[in-house]
Structure 1
Amino acid sequence: MKALVFGVPPEPFAVPDNANALTVNLSRTPSALRQVPDPQLPHQDWVLTRPRLTGICGSDSKQILMDFGADDADNAMGGFCSFPQVMGHEVVADVVALGPKARGLDVGQRVVLNPWLSCGPRGIEPPCPACETGDYSLCWSFTDGDLKPGIHTGVSADVTGGYAELMPAHDSMLFPVPESIPDEMAVFADPFSVSLHAITRHPPPRSGRVLVYGAGSLGLCAVAILRALYPDVAVAVVARFDAQAELARRFGAAKVLAHEPRLVVIEELVAWGGGRLRQPLQGLPMAHPGAIDVVYDTVGKPETFEVGVRVLASRGTLVKAGVHAPGRWEWSPLYFKEIALVGSNAFGFEEVDGERKHAIAHYLDLVAAGRIELRPMLTHTFGLQQWREAFLAIANQADSGAVKVAIDQR
């Protein structure tokens, strides 16, 4: 089959002298379109699918554009992946073949992928305590069993992802898509679920004020979730690009700010939410009392944390959902205001409106009920052969207006 492979010799191409750093990185990324063997089903309860539409996740674009930063060499997650990889885990696909013990699916069925390579897909019995409770992204077994290390589809050398003509999956990893939901909506099941987990595990107080830091896929999904599930909560958004800011307003954000200068971000948030600014001898001011109850940080950079802790109320919560390289940041507001800094990793079974089920099932139900509409986020699609153009659109978002980019193989 044809597949976009990461972890192979680069295939450089010419870029303009004034190209930005991400474009230059793309010109030398260790990625290439290759002919590789068709995937084999690792166990009898796996199935084979043919991807239709695969969203480019922020972590995928960071990897291919080599945008994790120079300080990422000692990343503790390095032991949870294997190479070479065929990435792509935001996948809408058709089932094309069933293993003899696969259950609950039919050939020809349209499905979305739950990518976690947890105990069930790895054939590990009994399941670990995390899997037993539905916290699949916290599985204890990501390096165990007869699959090579990998937390999810696309980061294990044995489980190729959606940037390919075929993709294997365990029967528990696939959710049938109702006919009423188009591919262009189904493709957001994964990023929506990531943001749903962050918000429902760390919900805002009633009639509170929250900040969504970043307006990419996770940030915009967070805005949509907050408006649908917590309509009495006021939502502010920090957006880097004009196209993102426009969608944040369209999705119901009460206030949308540019990402810099950071001093203006802090001043405007405090003016919007209340509180009092305290100016230090040097550097950014801190709000005390603060203006914001919860910050959902979908960027994860030191400079975003610094703003978040400055505007948070005492005993507020900073939820880290974004992934980036580590770096120093001024964190004294954490202890002074007794702020809770918590991580949020992907999704599993979540509770919405008193009902506990898988996050992707919640997403499909909310879409079918007309409570969530994310289709405007899908701004660009490219064929697999055009993978470079797809990542160029992401590398040049200010010019391209790209928000969510997907590989379209329909």
Structure 2
Amino acid sequence: MWALVFGVPPEPFDIPDDANVLTKNFGSSPVALQQVPDPVLLHDDWVITRPRLTGICGSDSKQILLDFGAGDADNAMAAFCSFPQVMGHEVVADVVELGPKARGLEVGQRVVLNPWLSCRPRGVEPPCPACQSGDYSLCWSFCDGDIKPGIHTGVSADVTGGYAELMPAHDSMLFAVPDSVPDELAVFADPFSVSLHAVTRHPPPRSGRVLVYGAGSLGLCAVAILRALYPDVAVAAVARFDAQAELARRFGAELVLAHEPRLAVIEELVRWGGGRLWQPLHGLPMAHPGAVDVVYDTIGKPETFEVGVRVLTARGTLVKAGVHAPGRWEWSPLYFKEINWVGSNAFGIEEVDGHRRHAIAHYLDLVVDSRIDLRPMLTHVFRLNQWRDAFLAIANQGDSGAVKVAIDQR
């Protein structure tokens, strides 16, 4: 089958002299479209699917565009992956082959992928405490069993992802898509679930004020979730690109700010939220009392943390949902205001409206009930053999207007 493989000699192509950094990085990225063996059933309860539509996750684009930063050389997560990889984990697919012990699925059924390679997919018994509690993204077994290390589909050398003509999956990793839900909505199940976990595990107070930092897929999903599940909460968002800002407003953010200059971001948020600003000898001012109860940071850079802790109220919460290289940041407001700084990693069994279900099941229900409609986020689709154009659209978002880009194999 044809597959986009990371961890192989790159396919060189011409890069314009005036290209931006990401485009130049892309020119030397170790990725190529190759023919590889068709996937096999890894265990008897696995199945083979044919991807229909695969979203390009922010983590995938960072990896292929070499955008994690120079400070990422000692990233501890490197222990939980194996190469070469066929990435792509935001997948809508058709089931084409069933293992003899696969249950709950039929050939021809349209499904969406829950990508976590936790205990059950790996055949680990008994399941670890994290899996028993439904925290699949915190599984203890990501390097165990006879499947090569990898936290999810697309980062294990054995479990090829959706940037390919075929994709394997365990029967527990696939959710049937209702007929009323088009592929263009089903493809958002994964990023929506990531943001659902971040928001519902660290919910805003009633009638509170929150900031969604970043308006890519995770940020826009967070805005939509806040509007659907917490209608009394005031939402502000920071967006880098015009297309993102337009969608943030469309999804219900009442205040949308450009990402620079950061001083203006702080001043506008304090003006909006009613805090008080205090100017130090150098650097950015701090609000005390602060103007924001919770910051959902979908960027995860030192520059965004510095703004977040300055605008948060005392004992507010800074939720790190974005992935980026580490770096020094001025974090004295973190201890002074006793701010809760917490990571948010993917999703599992989540509680919505008093019901505990898998995050993807919640998403499909909310779509069927017309409470969530993320279709405007899907701005660009490309065929698999147009993979360069897809990643160039992401590398040049300011010009392309790309928000969510997907590989279409229908």
Considering the TM-score relative to the shorter chain, is it more than 0.5? yes
Could you tell me which amino acid in structure 2 is paired with residue 59 of structure 1?
S
Could you tell me which amino acid in structure 2 is paired with residue 373 of structure 1?
D
Could you tell me which amino acid in structure 1 is paired with residue 154 of structure 2?
G
Query: Which residue matches 2:397?
Result: 397
State the alpha-carbon separation in 2 of the partners of residues 115 and 90 from structure 1: 8
SS of 1:334's partner is helix
Query: Which residue matches 2:163?
Result: 163
User: Post-superposition shift, 1:28?
Assistant: 1.1
SS of 1:92's partner is strand
Q: Which string of whole-angstrom CA distances, capped at 9 and with x for unpartnered residues, describes residues 169-220 of structure 1?
A: 0000000000000000000000000000000000000000000000000000
Q: Which string of whole-angstrom CA distances, capped at 9 and with x for unpartnered residues, describes residues 286-318 of structure 1?
A: 000000000000000000000000000000000
State the alpha-carbon separation in 1 of the partners of residues 47 and 40 from structure 2: 9
Query: Which residue matches 2:184?
Result: 184
Does structure 1 residue 265 correspond to structure 2 residue 268?
A: no
SS of 2:350's partner is strand
Query: Which residue matches 1:243?
Result: 243
Query: Which residue matches 2:318?
Result: 318
State the alpha-carbon separation in 1 of the partners of residues 11 and 374 from structure 2: 35
Does structure 1 residue 77 correspond to structure 2 residue 86?
A: no
State the alpha-carbon separation in 1 of the partners of residues 219 and 78 from structure 2: 26
Could you tell me which amino acid in structure 1 is paired with residue 170 of structure 2?
H
SS of 2:316's partner is strand
User: Post-superposition shift, 1:345?
Assistant: 0.1
Could you tell me which amino acid in structure 1 is paired with residue 160 of structure 2?
T
Could you tell me which amino acid in structure 2 is paired with residue 340 of structure 1?
N
Query: Which residue matches 1:116?
Result: 116
Query: Which residue matches 2:348?
Result: 348
Query: Which residue matches 2:42?
Result: 42
Could you tell me which amino acid in structure 2 is paired with residue 88 of structure 1?
G
Does structure 1 residue 280 correspond to structure 2 residue 280?
A: yes
Query: Which residue matches 2:233?
Result: 233
Unaligned runs of 5+ in 1: none
State the alpha-carbon separation in 2 of the partners of residues 109 and 320 from structure 1: 36
Could you tell me which amino acid in structure 2 is paired with residue 65 of structure 1?
L
* Matched ranges for 1:62-101 at <5 A: 62-101=62-101
State the alpha-carbon separation in 2 of the partners of residues 398 and 55 from structure 1: 19
SS of 2:72's partner is coil
Extract structure 1 runs of 4+ deviating beyond 4 A.
none
Query: Which residue matches 1:126?
Result: 126
Q: Which string of whole-angstrom CA distances, capped at 9 and with x for unpartnered residues, describes residues 307-359 of structure 1?
A: 00000000000000000000000000000000000000000000000000000
Q: Which string of whole-angstrom CA distances, capped at 9 and with x for unpartnered residues, describes residues 10-47 of structure 1?
A: 11111111000100111111000000000011100000
State the alpha-carbon separation in 2 of the partners of residues 296 and 121 from structure 1: 31
* Matched ranges for 1:48-67 at <5 A: 48-67=48-67
SS of 2:67's partner is coil
SS of 1:405's partner is strand
Does structure 1 residue 202 correspond to structure 2 residue 198?
A: no
SS of 2:198's partner is helix
TM-score, normalisation: structure 1: 1.00
SS of 1:394's partner is helix
State the alpha-carbon separation in 2 of the partners of residues 383 and 299 from structure 1: 28
Q: Percent identity?
A: 86
Q: Which string of whole-angstrom CA distances, capped at 9 and with x for unpartnered residues, describes residues 99-139 of structure 1?
A: 00000000000000000000000000000000000000000
State the alpha-carbon separation in 2 of the partners of residues 331 and 379 from structure 1: 37
State the alpha-carbon separation in 2 of the partners of residues 145 and 11 from structure 1: 34
Q: Which string of whole-angstrom CA distances, capped at 9 and with x for unpartnered residues, describes residues 249-307 of structure 1?
A: 00010100000000000000000001100000000000000000000000000000000
State the alpha-carbon separation in 1 of the partners of residues 125 and 252 from structure 2: 45
* Matched ranges for 1:274-313 at <5 A: 274-313=274-313
Query: Which residue matches 2:211?
Result: 211
State the alpha-carbon separation in 2 of the partners of residues 29 and 128 from structure 1: 36
SS of 2:160's partner is coil
Query: Which residue matches 2:174?
Result: 174
Measured on the aligned residues, the alpha-carbon RMSD in Å equals 0.3
State the alpha-carbon separation in 1 of the partners of residues 402 and 372 from structure 2: 21
Does structure 1 residue 367 correspond to structure 2 residue 343?
A: no
Could you tell me which amino acid in structure 2 is paired with residue 251 of structure 1?
F
User: Post-superposition shift, 1:223?
Assistant: 0.3
Could you tell me which amino acid in structure 1 is paired with residue 89 of structure 2?
H
Query: Which residue matches 2:253?
Result: 253
Could you tell me which amino acid in structure 1 is paired with residue 261 of structure 2?
P
State the alpha-carbon separation in 1 of the partners of residues 244 and 49 from structure 2: 32
SS of 1:356's partner is strand
Q: Which string of whole-angstrom CA distances, capped at 9 and with x for unpartnered residues, describes residues 63-114 of structure 1?
A: 0000000010000101000000000000000000000000000000000000
* Matched ranges for 1:11-26 at <5 A: 11-26=11-26
Query: Which residue matches 1:380?
Result: 380
